[in-house]
């Protein structure tokens, strides 16, 4: 896949007075990794591609399906639709009651699969309990799999062939790329083993020649692993999973979590205020990984449309 970070200004070089230094004064705080800025550059590039396609008669079309009333999902979907509107992607939104049957949802997906004006299909997760998530993902035409959640996309990632990469871990890779830190030979620790973030994250890091450890709820001594890591990705969904004593000085820390603190403010899985005095680079929450997920979703939607036009031999190229 071609670099989609061309044009992103390089992040400042690591500060020699940072935590690596023998200087005994308080270490300088980590460089923040600004997801808004990186995503903005990526979105601008995607918007240009979408406009060029539009000028040739193909407006990229993304179907977005929301089932039920989960308030967080409603916010995510709203943000995705807004991003589409601002970047030349036509979104077709369908909101269904939580009582929608699995058969009805599968029928909706079948109709979208054969609709030539729809290039990508996104079913917002989580789905109500009575619907089998795997069946739903499997029903989406693999050429319209903008989320990169299908078995086919997972197999392509596993085998190192072009395909749709899941938006959140792919966005994390772009954030690491924006720091200028070379992953080759680095020890990367992923905390969390979900099929949508942790597992694909580990494979993407491997593809970039990192040495990868995946930790999870049954890992007895998490800090033993994280203290050795040059890169730590935390995708657990629990506040303060990564604290300052668990981080190697100078490490790159990527926080995928979205939680609320005691005052109801958004926070991630990392104890940001303390870890930022140890890490070399760190993503905040909000304004870190979140904006990248949406940017990569747009990128995948435009790839689907380019494939349909015959510009790509495979949509994930
Ligand atoms: N729910 C939370 N994140 C995601 C995502 O990236 N895609 C979909 N479809 N649902 C989600």
> From ligand 1's centre to the CA of 124, what distance in Å?
5
User: Pocket of ligand 1, candidates 74, 196, 256, 258: which has the most ligand atoms within 8 Å of its Cβ, to mutate?
Assistant: 196
Q: How far apart are alpha carbons 311 and 163 in whole angstroms?
A: 15
Q: How confident is the model at residue 26 (pLDDT cuts 50, 70, 90)?
A: low
For 216-265, what is each residue's pLDDT tens digit?
999 999 999 999 999 999 999 999 999 999 999 999 999 999 999 999 99
- Other CB atoms within a 10 A radius of the CB of residue 210 amount to 23
> From ligand 1's centre to the CA of 284, what distance in Å?
20
Q: How confident is the model at residue 176 (pLDDT cuts 50, 70, 90)?
A: very high
The domains located in the chain, with CATH, are 57-153 (3.40.50.10860), 165-291 (3.40.50.720)
Go through the chain and tell me how many residues it has. 317
Instruction: Please identify which of the residues 145, 147, 255, 271 carries the catalytic annotation.
Output: 147
User: Pocket of ligand 1, candidates 68, 72, 76: which has the most ligand atoms within 8 Å of its Cβ, to mutate?
Assistant: 76
Q: Is the CB of 123 under 6 A from ligand 1?
A: yes
Q: What are phi and psi of 55, to 5 degrees?
A: -65, -25
Q: How far apart are alpha carbons 53 and 192 in whole angstroms?
A: 38
Q: Which residue has the tokens 């600004």?
A: 34
Q: Which pTM value belongs to this model?
A: 0.91
Residue 3 clears pLDDT 80, i.e. is over it:
no
Q: Is the CB of 137 under 6 A from ligand 1?
A: no
User: Pocket of ligand 1, candidates 75, 147, 195: which has the most ligand atoms within 8 Å of its Cβ, to mutate?
Assistant: 147
Residue-level pLDDT at 14:
40
Q: Specify whether 124 is catalytic.
A: yes
Asked if residue 283 lies in contact with residue 39, where contact means CB atoms within 8 angstroms, the answer is no
Q: How confident is the model at residue 16 (pLDDT cuts 50, 70, 90)?
A: very low
- Other CB atoms within a 10 A radius of the CB of residue 175 amount to 24
Asked if residue 154 lies in contact with residue 204, where contact means CB atoms within 8 angstroms, the answer is no
Instruction: Please identify which of the residues 124, 144, 174, 255 carries the catalytic annotation.
Output: 124
Q: Is the CB of 65 under 6 A from ligand 1?
A: no
Residue 94 clears pLDDT 90, i.e. is over it:
yes
For atom 3 of ligand 1, the residue with the nearest CA is 125
């Amino acid at each position: 896949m071609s670099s989609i970070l061309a044009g992103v200004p390089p992040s400042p070089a690591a500060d020699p007075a940072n935590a690596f230094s023998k200087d005994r004064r308080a270490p300088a705080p980590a460089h923040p990794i600004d997801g808004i800025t990186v995503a903005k550059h990526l979105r601008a590039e995607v918007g240009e591609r979408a406009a060029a396609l539009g000028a040739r008669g193909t407006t990229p079309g993304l179907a977005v399906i929301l089932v039920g009333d989960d308030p967080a999902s409603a916010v995510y979907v709203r943000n995705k639709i807004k991003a589409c509107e601002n970047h030349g992607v036509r979104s077709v939104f369908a909101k269904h009651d939580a009582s929608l049957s699995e058969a009805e949802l599968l029928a909706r997906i079948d109709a979208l699969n054969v609709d030539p004006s729809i290039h990508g299909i996104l079913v917002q997760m989580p789905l109500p309990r009575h619907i089998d998530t795997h069946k739903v993902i499997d029903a989406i035409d693999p050429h319209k799999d903008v989320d990169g959640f299908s078995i086919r996309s997972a197999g392509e990632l596993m085998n190192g062939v072009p395909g749709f990469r899941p938006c959140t871990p792919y966005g994390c890779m772009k954030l690491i790329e924006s720091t200028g830190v070379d992953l080759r030979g680095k020890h990367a620790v992923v905390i969390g083993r979900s099929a949508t973030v942790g597992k694909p994250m580990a494979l993407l890091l491997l593809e970039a020649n990192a040495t990868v450890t995946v930790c999870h709820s049954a890992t007895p001594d998490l800090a033993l692993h994280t203290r050795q890591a040059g890169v730590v990705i935390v995708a657990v969904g629990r506040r303060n999973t990564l604290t300052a004593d668990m981080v190697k000085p100078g490490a790159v820390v990527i926080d995928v979590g979205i939680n609320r603190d005691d005052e109801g403010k958004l926070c991630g899985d990392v104890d940001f205020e303390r870890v930022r005095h140890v890490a070399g680079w760190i993503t905040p929450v909000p304004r870190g990984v979140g904006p990248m997920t949406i940017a990569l979703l747009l990128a995948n939607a435009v790839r689907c449309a380019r494939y349909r036009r015959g510009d790509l031999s495979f949509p994930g190229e």
